[in-house]
């Protein structure tokens, strides 16, 4: 018998040079809804873009990347 399981989603972002891993508040939410949810805590997410998904260590990882506050 074949059994399927959904891989958990993980959302990654950088703040002040540190990688931050954000848990999935609700697997039914779209990636954009999750980003909007965390934008209340991390205002830089209001201008971020989503990169991914990438499957790593049995998780589906999305990275929120922003160009605000970076030099270059």
Q: What is the CA radius of gyration of the chain?
A: 13
Report pTM.
0.82
pLDDT tens for each residue of 25-67: 999 999 999 999 999 999 999 999 999 999 999 999 999 998 7
Q: Using 50, 70 and 90 to split pLDDT, how confident is the model at 72? A: very low
Q: Which long-range contacts (CB under 8 A, 24 or more apart) does 23-27 make?
A: none
pLDDT at 5: 77
Residue 68: its pLDDT value, please? 61
Q: Is the pLDDT assigned to residue 69 strictly greater than 60?
A: no
Task: Provide CB contacts within 8 A for 3, sequence distance 6+.
Answer: none
């Amino acid at each position: 018998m074949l059994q399927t399981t959904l891989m958990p989603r993980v959302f990654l972002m950088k703040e002040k040079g540190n990688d931050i891993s954000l848990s999935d508040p609700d697997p039914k939410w779209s990636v954009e809804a999750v980003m909007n949810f965390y934008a209340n805590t991390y205002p830089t997410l209001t201008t971020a873009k989503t990169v991914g998904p990438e499957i790593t260590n049995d998780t589906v990882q999305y990275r929120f990347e922003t160009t605000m506050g970076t030099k270059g």
